[in-house]
């Protein structure tokens, strides 16, 4: 059983916290990872900064811009994560990013290095599903890296079931239209119907709800319809204009889980 499965079997209402590698300072990655998990996060999602992220709103885009200016890159990130498992032996760790930098790095090399430092899963929102199955699924399986796929309110039942059959991690339920950190008012009834529709499918994988989850109340609401929630932009905002990023991150996570 992998670390992701163990987390879902041993806990309820999981909190997945996203942060951008290399933000606010280049060497904050591992200190932030430790502070966030010690404060109560159940899963870590480390963002690999990219100049043209399709799913990220302005907050995470801004953090990626700063991280890239700081000198963050995939080789730097893998070097920083050498001490990951010594510091966090049991916490599931995901990398989240986009296909272009991974392809430039080399998919097989990327998966091998991710596995070597103890990464459990990978979220690539722009990886075509057919391409994953035809070209990359054997490599993911060879290196023990679990793909995490996104589901939106527009995703058909047939595609949802296909995605559910291609992973043994979890499914990422995008809460509504727009990018991460969105503030557009949502149709609460439509959103509830969407969550209930997914729950009624009796999928084999657990589900986490993300996009627009920014408070304890929103986290608790998400937990009513899924196995937990994903928070990213709100954490990044908590790191802005702080002299102690790990302490600020820990305070934010405690404010959600307390």
Burial annotation 230-245 (CB, 10 A radius, 16+ → b, else e): bbbbbbbbbbeeeeeb
How buried is 217 (Cβ within 10 angstroms: 0-12 exposed, 13-18 middle, 19+ buried)? exposed
Between 188-199 and 216-225, two packed helices, what is the crossing angle to 10 degrees? 40
Asked if 121 and 148 count as a contact pair (C-beta separation under 8 A), the reply is yes
141 is catalytic: no
Regarding beta strands 14-20 and 43-47, do their DSSP bridges make them parallel or antiparallel, or are they unpaired?
parallel
CA angle 52, 122, 136 (to 5 degrees): 95
- The contacts of residue 4 (CB under 8 Å, 6+ apart) are 43, 92, 120, 121, 146, 168, 169, 170
45 is catalytic: yes
Handedness of CA 180, 155, 230, 44 (dihedral sign): negative
Asked if 160 and 198 count as a contact pair (C-beta separation under 8 A), the reply is yes
| Torsions phi, psi for 202 (to 5 deg) | 55, 55
Asked if 246 and 35 count as a contact pair (C-beta separation under 8 A), the reply is yes
Q: How far apart are CA 241 and CA 231, in angstroms?
A: 19
From 42, 45, 120, 227, active-site residue: 45
From 42, 56, 120, 227, active-site residue: 56
**Active site residue ranges:** 45, 56
């Amino acid at each position: 059983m992998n670390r992701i499965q163990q987390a879902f079997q041993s806990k309820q209402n999981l909190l997945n916290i996203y942060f951008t590698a290399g933000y606010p300072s280049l060497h904050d990655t591992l200190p932030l990872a430790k502070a966030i998990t010690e404060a109560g996060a159940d899963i870590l999602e480390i963002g690999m900064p990219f100049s043209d992220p399709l799913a990220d709103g302005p907050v995470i885009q801004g953090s990626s811009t700063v991280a890239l200016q700081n000198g963050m890159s995939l080789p730097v990130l893998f070097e920083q994560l050498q001490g990951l498992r010594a510091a966090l032996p049991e916490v599931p760790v995901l990398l989240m990013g986009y296909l272009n930098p991974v392809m430039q790095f080399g998919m097989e090399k990327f998966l091998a290095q991710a596995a070597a430092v103890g990464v459990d899963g990978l979220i690539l929102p722009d990886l075509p599903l057919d391409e994953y199955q035809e070209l990359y699924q054997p490599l993911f399986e060879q290196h023990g890296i679990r793909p995490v796929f996104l589901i939106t309110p527009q995703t058909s039942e047939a595609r949802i079931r296909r995605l559910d059959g291609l992973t043994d991690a979890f499914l990422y339920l995008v809460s509504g239209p727009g990018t991460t950190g969105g503030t557009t008012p949502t149709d609460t009834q439509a959103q509830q119907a969407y969550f209930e529709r997914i729950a009624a499918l009796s999928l084999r994988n657990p589900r986490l709800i993300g996009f627009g989850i920014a408070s304890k109340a929103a986290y608790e609401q998400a937990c009513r319809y899924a196995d937990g929630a994903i928070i990213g932009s709100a954490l990044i905002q908590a790191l802005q204009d702080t002299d102690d990023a790990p302490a600020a991150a820990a305070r934010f996570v405690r404010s959600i889980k307390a």
